[in-house]
Structure 1
Amino acid sequence: MAAEAPAPTAVVETAKRFLASFLRPTRILVAVSGGSDSKGLLLALNEAIEAAEPKRFSLAACTVDHALRPESAEEARGVASFCASIDVPHLIMRWDGAKPPTGIQAAAREARYRLLADAAERFEAGCIVTGHTSDDQRETILMRMQRAPGASGMASATLYDRRVWVLRPFLSLDRASIRAFLATRDVTWFDDPSNANPTFERVRVRTELAQSPRAEEGAWDAGARARSSARAAGFLTRQVRVHAGLVVEIPLALADHRDNVDWQRALLALVAVVGGRAHIPAADTVKRVAAFLQEATPGRMTAGRCVFDLRASGLYLYREARGLTTLTLAGGKAATWDGRFHVHNGASTPISVAAEGRGGPQQQRLIAAGLPPGVAGRASLSAPKVLSGNGESVASVTIEPRIGLYDTFLPGFDRIMADRIAGLFGREPYPPPPVHDLLTEMER
């Protein structure tokens, strides 16, 4: 039996295998913070490209300066110098503006990916790669398990904002291996002091894992999740209709599947989309919904901003007519209304988007589509209506259903289900990743 490859060799070989997974030549943008993981990723990819793929790939790098510490600007300049030393073009993107008093890590994450995506466009890169490791994966799984049983880990490929794929080639490597690799190249790194601050959840989970290394064992499998998503997509294809992006219609025969985990995932995803939410309902909400459907008595209940309207003809889901705000949009601008619709104002003057209310044209369209009049009437109360400044309806505006569950971050292992939901709501499929992934292997 061959001996296990030394850590430095394993790191470069992992980079080579990652390059071999690409479907076509491309430029790769590496997110480099200056820590060991991202520096190791950049250096390993650079060596792998020089050794075997100099004509198919090129690298660029980006450091996001969150401007949260006085030292961050100098650290970013240090990364720029390192990139210059290996002839990799580099860009510093700074998170300017006021920072939120709470939820700073979540806000920093959102800003980081937005700025990385902007840098990818400037470099004309085909993807972004990050240095997440198996250590990060274990922490993520345990964090999500503590919030909700059956939660997933990080995907090796995630689509950001429907425009660029973020790839994580080092999820199979541990941090110690990467640091050993950097040591053989005499490359140093710095550690963000927030990585030792117990105020943050990830730091507390890291400590827990150090004390109990098997804490997250058996938690999650990416292949199983992808297969579950494919089965959920099958349920959606066979059993679900969506009317005008407003009403989800499900036949009562689906009650036979109420205990099926894949069908439950599909249903909860639909609830999130109808309610304009970026996450599936919380556990207590799921229990209430399950009890309502289990009883199978015609009636209505509201959960997650979504009305569950159970009738002899089927189950209908639509947005509850509460908490509907008015969006004012300047000419040429775009924004999201109610978390459910992406609106672009093609006019030169401002417009407003508000709920249609009772008796509008959408109600008649839903009735004409065969929906019960009561469902059509209630669902149309939350339909979007576009008004010009003088109160007249305008046509130079595009409105597209938004799928908050996937439009910002779409894990690759959920792509089949996401594409099916997009189709039901009248949207084009999401762009596929630039590499062979779990789903391309399943589709072969």
Structure 2
Amino acid sequence: MAAETQVNLAVLETAKRFLSSFNRPARLLVAVSGGSDSKGLLLALNRMIEATGNADLSLAACTVDHALRPGSADEAEAVAGFCASLGIAHVTKRWDGPKPSAGIQAAAREKRYQLLASAVDDLGATCIVTGHTLDDQRETILMRSERGQGPGGAGMADETLYDRRFWVLRPFLGLRRADIRAFLTAEGVGWFDDPSNVNMRFERVRTRERLADADDEAVATWDAAFRARSSVRAAAWLELHARVHESLVVSVADAAVAGCVDADCRRALLAMATVVGGRTHPLAADTVTRLVAFLERGEPGRLTAGRVVFDRRATGLYLYREARDLPLLVLRPGATGIWDGRFTVGNVGNGMVQISAAGDGGLQQERLIAAGLPPGVAKRASFSAPHVVSTDDNCIAEAHIEPRIGPYDTFLPGFDLIMADMIAGLFGRQPYVRSPVHDLLTEMER
């Protein structure tokens, strides 16, 4: 009995501590699948709001029905009933339409966050809260480490900005699933077990099986504070040494490139390359090894990696998009799309527009030369600039073009916020939305 009481107190104290960190007023949208983790989270948060009488904090809930198996709609309906019993507003969002035959879990994750974001709008919420646990964290660390990302970049953040709009918060990352289930059992609350959680087709399930008999020391330790401090140092390096020209070229002085020997400045440089290449993920480990060897030689030359030309000259290093495999994008009036992963384009005119590569340099080349770039760099970089034309007679092409920060515009881990803000600023963008948890930047800057 004493052990159960301690477990209950740990769960409730975690919820209480989390709630006390909010800027208020706030409304939290809890993602509730019907599984033990999310139901435990919702119940614990509700108990602590009731116990403290926080009128400036409230809860709402959303269940995403992926419609991937029989019975999922019934489970969503049961969750709605559970929320009603607690007096919590609830909405179900269903993933309708065809499903991919491959990569279903990744596609389901992407759709889940899209639907949760729409629920935030529907219910007037401040943020999204999910029930990820220490078990999920350990699985994630092991999976990502085995992919070569290493322990320094392998863990989930307890705060992640989604789509530049809403923060996704994970207050239970320090709690084990067994403790949450013990809390629910003590409260007389049941839960659903998703059959996919035992399907060995999925990488996470296989990882979970391997971890079942492993010691904690068998998994690399995740240190979010270390990653946050690295973000601060990387941002400082970028502020001193990196410049962005016309959102097309990143330049770094030669002395700074020669002195880029530590992990933080290399991480900063690779992040800029990811943006220039219109990618969402960093370069693969073997490509990074090849790039580092090229930079360490210190000789003039060009190397292409991840759709980016690394152009080393006596005056410095220049990064720009290679001029091949550039896409064509057509937008209706009022529509918005992403071109080449590098630019968000909105059609603000009254006719159809087409966005393609400039191809012939032109005005962009002149601007880059005027900015002091070597003519050869300016010419090559200008070939990959976006060019907007109208496809309708008697209509003038009008479009709003904004640089896209590929690594962070969909998912921005809180521990990378300072570096992401620096990169956004260098590309002429505003800082990212701040977390509703008031101590995020304070903790990162320590």
TM-score computed with the length of structure 1 as normaliser: 0.97
Decide whether aligned partners of structure 1 residues 54 and 390 sit closer, same or farther in structure 2, where only a CA change above 3 A counts: closer
Alignment length (residue pairs): 443
The offset of 1:349, in angstroms, is 1.3
Residue 123 of structure 2 is matched in structure 1 by 123
Which residues of 2 match residues 144-163 of structure 1 at below 5 A? Answer: 144-148=144-148, 149-150=150-151, 151-163=153-165
The alpha-carbon deviation at position 390 of structure 1 amounts to 5.1
- Alpha-carbon distance, 1:241 to partner: 0.1
Q: 1:14 to 1:415 in 2, by over 3 A?
A: same
2:335 partner amino acid: K
Offset at 1:8? 1.0
Q: What are the superposed Cα offsets for residues 138-179 of structure 1, whole Å, 9 maximum, x if unpaired?
A: 111111100112332010100000000000011111111111
Cα 1:201/1:391, change in 2 over 3 Å:
farther
Shift of 1:189: 0.2
Structure 2 counterpart of 1:403, which letter?
I
**Which deviates the most, 394-403 or 90-99?**
394-403
Change (3 A) 1:21 1:248: same
| Aligned twin of 1:61 | 61
Aligned to 1:114: 114
| Partners of 1:293 and 1:393 in 2: CA distance | 48
Instruction: Name structure 1 gaps, 5 residues minimum.
Output: none
Q: CA deviation at 1:184?
A: 1.1
Alignment of 1:26-41 (within 5 A): 26-41=26-41
> Partners of 2:68 and 2:77 in 1: how far apart?
15
Q: Which residue of 1 aligns with 2:341?
A: 339
> C-alpha displacement at 1:308, in angstroms?
0.4
String of CA shifts for 1:256-285, please: whole Å, max 9, x gaps: 433200011101101100000000000111
1:198 matched residue in structure 2: 200
C-alpha contact (below 8 Å) 2:354/2:388 kept by paired residues: yes
Aligned to 2:326: 324
1:310 pairs with one of 309, 312, 316: 312
Identify the range of structure 1 (158-167 vs 215-224) with the bigger mean alpha-carbon deviation.
215-224
- Matched with 1:177 is 179
Which structure 2 residues correspond to residues 384-423 of structure 1 after superposition, within 5 A? 384-389=386-391, 394=396, 396-423=398-425
Cα distance between partner residues in 2 of 1:51 and 1:368: 64
Write out aligned runs for 1:36-55 (5 A).
Answer: 36-55=36-55
Separation in 2 of the partners of 1:117 and 1:216? 36
Provide the residue aligned with 1:223 in structure 2.
Answer: 225
Distance 2:436 2:367 in 1: 40
Are the structure 2 counterparts of residues 23 and 54 from structure 1 closer, same or farther at C-alpha, using a change threshold of 3 Å? closer
C-alpha RMSD of the superposition: 1.7
CA distance in 2 between counterparts of 1:407 and 1:164 reads 11
Greater shift, 207-216 or 52-61, is seen at 207-216
Q: Is the 8 A contact 1:64 1:112 kept in 2?
A: yes
Gaps of 5+ in 2: none
- Which amino acid in structure 2 is aligned with residue 410 of structure 1? L
Post-superposition Cα deviations, 1:21-67, rounded to whole Å, max 9, x if no partner, equal 01222111000000000000000000000111431111100000001
Question: Could you tell which deviates more after superposition, 134-143 or 358-367?
Answer: 358-367
Q: 1:277 matched to which residue of 2?
A: 279
Partner residue in 1 for 2:240:
238
SS at 1:6's partner residue?
A: helix
In the TM superposition, what is the alpha-carbon distance from 1:215 to its structure 2 partner? 5.7
Q: Flag the 1:3–1:110 CA change in 2: closer, same or farther, 3 A.
A: closer
Identity of aligned residues (%): 63
